[in-house]
Chain A
Amino acid sequence: MPRDAEIRLRDRLSRLGGLDLLRGARLSGELERLQRQLDRIEAEPTDEEIWRSVELARHQNRPYTLDYVNRIFEDFFELHGDRGRGDDAALVTGLGQLEGRTVAIVGHQKGRDLKERTTRNFGMAYPEGYRKAVRVMELADRHGFPLVSLVDTPGAYPGVAAEQHGQGGAIARCQAAMARLGVPTVACIIGEGGSGGAVAIALADRVLMQENAIYSVISPEGCAAILWRDAGEARKAAAAFKPDAAHCLELGVIDGIVPEPEGGAQGNHDEAARLLAAALADSLEELEDVPRRELRAARREKFRSMGVLA
């Protein structure tokens, strides 16, 4: 039985296949990408493949937000601080140029060595981080800059101070801010898309996911600890809630999968960045001429319809 996502992809594939080379290599890239997505959907990932995604999504050499930003955007200028309380290094924001257009960027940032990991708090943002993101989103809206958000977090930071500073409310308001934007927005999950801390910056017109990224309601360990009463059962938990890109696409949660270099993004940062840049540029181009109101209405409609009822 063909699934919705499969039908959608086949449809796009046939339309693209019938076109002459309008945009040179990009089109063949797009065709190839869709064909690959279709192959992935047809071949349902096994439990082992799902767990491989979990491991690759957390690979210590996987490119992080700033690795991509420095390769993809020209003249990146980082913006600091939430204008209230502090600057959260676990969530970076700034302005840069993509194909000659200024865009605003928000993204979780992990660290590579011990010192940087501590500074970046392992990519787990405080409310200050989400408030900084809101500030930059509103800036983007004011000036008509499209917004790119890169998601890579195990989750929002669960700490006493984070709660006292209003973690839940900050995440809710960050989503609300995205629901109000009148500019094109593209989010891509580039590693771990962990729960509320991830979706906070992913209420976008186009939500993409890298091939080996994961997007989930809870970490496999957390789920195992609660439902299996044993954090060691993380593999079973991951196999049960299916956080991999192919399943997210099938469930209609994301709009497309961004291919990674053979073996995973950790092996070739430059190539991974090139593939991501192409996907971001394509998505933004699709949204370029949509009027503000329509953009917002379609975005809301998309998220309004999320879920499966009996």
Chain B
Amino acid sequence: MKRFTTALAMVLTLAGAASAQTLINGAGATFPGPMYSKWFSEYKKLHNNIQINYTANGSGAGIKGVTDGTLDFGGSDAIMDDGQLKEFRDKQGVGVLAFPTVMGAVVLTYHVAGVSGDLKLTPDAVAGIYLGKITKWNDPALVKANPGVNLPKSDIVVVHRSDSSGTSFVFTDYLAKVSPEWKTKVGAKAAVDWPVGLGGKNSDGVAGLVQQQANSIGYVELIFAVQNKMTYASIQNPAGAFVKPSLESVTAAAAAAAKTIPDDFRISITNAPGKDSYPISTFTWLLIPEKIKDPAKQKAIVDFLTWMLKDGQAMAAPLTYSPLPKEVVDKEVKAIAKIK
């Protein structure tokens, strides 16, 4: 009996300790992983009793985890489709909210003999290359956009991601918007049936292939290209301007799309209007259930989101993430109140 009381006391003490320390678990998209690590560790410095963990294991895992209720929140580079929203509602009995956190872009990196400067690509050229219709570097569609550049008459070696990834989702989503043929023949998803090209595993694999193969082209995240000092192309946006991907041109795309952002933030901002917008830009989202049962967790998540939108945004640029434009931040601050 005495042993039992001791054990009970120990359990109660442990439970007491746990309630003082609020533990929040999340997982998902790999692209914002470094940003989230930074935020969560900075936030822990300010609020010692709140521990937020994040495992960067892919957008699919984030969506699945938050839907099954094994995670407190998920991270995703892809918006949840209607089927996924319905599945969430069926399993959890409430809806799910999406909050954009930072932004990124997909850039086209290339390795072409004699072309060192800025390669310019039109949407038709990008779609044509990935559909396998433009096969030579001196194709008229490429030459016309690059006057004065000596493009070789070699075959284009096309490289894409072989693993499922948010990067591929953003890129194929863009292609589906600019090319009706891509939309019907291939479509937009984290993994698709690529009409042509070599598959590299992860961004490293794509970068390795592009470096190794002469006359090649591939796509990676802007951050990855910047960190690895890769050359990347300017893309023509819907306003007709060729825009080089940068933190500013990505934020500009979100600002240009801000008016059309719905209240649930489910929007793809690829091919955004505005002459400064880089057309292959994207938000990355935190997925949070509408109703959080544990009041301590609910308060911690709400407080963190408020902090992230106010102080956290300033930490984005040094890590080469594009911060959210003011219009989006204001809209999100209002949306936080929906978390009950």
> Do A and B originate from a single complex?
no
